[in-house]
Structure 1
């Protein structure tokens, strides 16, 4: 049974006031480091068990909360984050949606692990900002965290994201200058901020390049099967240039185009997003937007380390430009409809 702490006893041993002991026990940041250490030593001498907030935190642990590892860009980001953290002598603890069983559960797990900070990858925090604040912001230790590709003004923490708006604009312009006018976008669920930004970039570029052409945006799950179903709809509408919000969607698109007896890119051009390592070896090699994974990961880790050490970096979104890598899945528009 935990012995109840008597403030007066601790204050007497530490040589401080009971008010100071109370502030230390409640993890208030207004207490000087030396004074806090005196109180902790007094607790130990008197045989009291330190409260959770005052136990030695595992300063070398950082949580990484990621989406399902089947998401094309997730493994690349995770590997880069692990490398960046290791260079700084931090040990990553990786949790995914599938392994943690839900937002509340994985946040509880991280708090119990006494992590010093958390990195949320690919919008994991976007649908659960209340839970994030409850378990991290409102935790008595004030665990700092940052997000990658998860910009959310309701959370108000540093975010490091690819320029999804600019990337889709580049894709539209690429297809337009290849002669395409009927261009469509297949992207993720509308509730995700990256999908919203991609749709915005698409509409802006279409209004700029071909304002008289119908705009076609389809939201779907990030999967090969969903990409195929959405592509079926695109082909029925006579679209000749398809932009996909992830490389998984592109793989489904190419498969469906071929099942319809059409060719890539002779009949239909496709452009992906992520430029996952294997996309250069698909058939045909995929035109895709490459995210600056290393730069984003490095900036996120640097900022988190700054926060963990008591710094106060800007709590604003940082945007990084993607690069359109042109390969063989996109080409000149067909002379006439083949549908």
Structure 2
């Protein structure tokens, strides 16, 4: 099999062949010249992995994640690798980051590879502008699929998400307990399901729509949103990601403000380093381990012939209170 830390594109680039050719070699498909097959095997060995021919007897689970530069997606990939290994399965990692293969290209490739199942994390099903066609074709071809933090009732899969409504409710309640009334929401593009859900939850807390700023899920996006919210007198900001929260803190500091004395900031994800930022970030922690276990269990049950329940299962997040939030002054 292809180890989890390698991608088809890694081997294909080194061997000077297409990703489709690499998949044919590793699935022992006909129509590949001996010299080409040898080149692919040599490329893999040169990347530090031995090839002993045992791959043909191994089942593979494809795991689709966005770019791994975001520590949250890396955490999901790592946890899924551990869970699948514990279940005796082999993970084939598909990372659709900038400069690499797109999610659509990976899905096309998976149609020609003998994978036992697919787990997709924060994939295109969470994008209201995307189509579910490629996932539908993969499932129709007999590959069961499970989705984390993305839901589409048009797709016959199992769905596991962290509750955005609970994350907003707990964040707002915490800030209100500290005396904040001018609370803003900094989120990513409104085309994405988590953004839409957070905005609805924010409104359900009785907070005005003009206190919502939608930019992009990045440090820069968080800084731009914080600039607008600070200009309109907000004393606290709930962010759609930890990266956006770091951007909000950076914007406060560029203005000579202190966090949390002048601005309280709440993140989302509880990425591994957030306890060590300055100040340590108050943030919402997704139950990554529990979500991954549920996803793996559901996929293995489906592979074993059991029916997949397509009802979305929502997991409870935890508010982790640190030093980036404090009483309103």
Question: What TM-score do you get using the length of structure 1 for normalisation?
Answer: 0.77
Size of the alignment, in residue pairs? 272
Please tell me whether the aligned partners of residues 228 and 256 of structure 1 are also in contact (alpha carbons under 8 angstroms): yes
Aligned to 2:136: 133
Contact 1:167/1:289 (CA < 8 Å) preserved in 2?
Answer: yes
Runs in 1 of length 4+ with deviation above 4 angstroms?
56-59
Q: Which of the two has higher C-alpha Rg?
A: 1
Deviation of 1:221 after TM superposition, in Å, equals 1.3
Q: By how many angstroms is 1:146 displaced?
A: 0.6
Which position in structure 2 is the counterpart of 1:68? 67
Deviation at 1:58, TM superposition (A): 6.0
2:234 is the counterpart of 1:231: no
Partner of 1:185: 185
The aligned counterpart of 1:27 is none
Using structure 2 for the length normalisation, give the TM-score. 0.79
Residue equivalent to 1:167: 167
**CA, structure 1 residues 58+143, in 2 after alignment: closer, same or farther (shift >3 Å)?**
farther
**1:177-326 → structure 2 map (5 Å cutoff):** 177-205=177-205, 207=206, 215-326=210-321
Over the aligned positions, Cα root-mean-square deviation in angstroms equals 1.8
> Is 1:72–1:247's contact at 8 Å kept on the other side of the alignment?
no
Consecutive unaligned residues of structure 1, counting only runs of 5 or more, are 1-48, 50-55, 335-339
Three-state SS of the structure 2 residue aligned to 1:112 is coil
Distance in 2 of aligned mates of 1:309 and 1:214:
47
Residue 88 of structure 1: aligned partner: 87
Question: Deviation digits for residues 172-205 of structure 1, max 9, x if unmatched?
Answer: 1111110000001111211111111111111111
In 1: Cα distance, 2:215 partner to 2:303 partner: 37
- Which blocks of at least 5 consecutive residues in structure 2 are unaligned? 1-29, 31-54
> d(CA) in 2 for partners of 1:214 and 1:305?
43
The CA distance in 2 between the partners of 1:225 and 1:268, in whole Å, is 18
Contact 1:58/1:115 (8 A) holds in 2: no
Query: How far is the alpha carbon of 1:270 from its aligned partner?
Result: 0.1
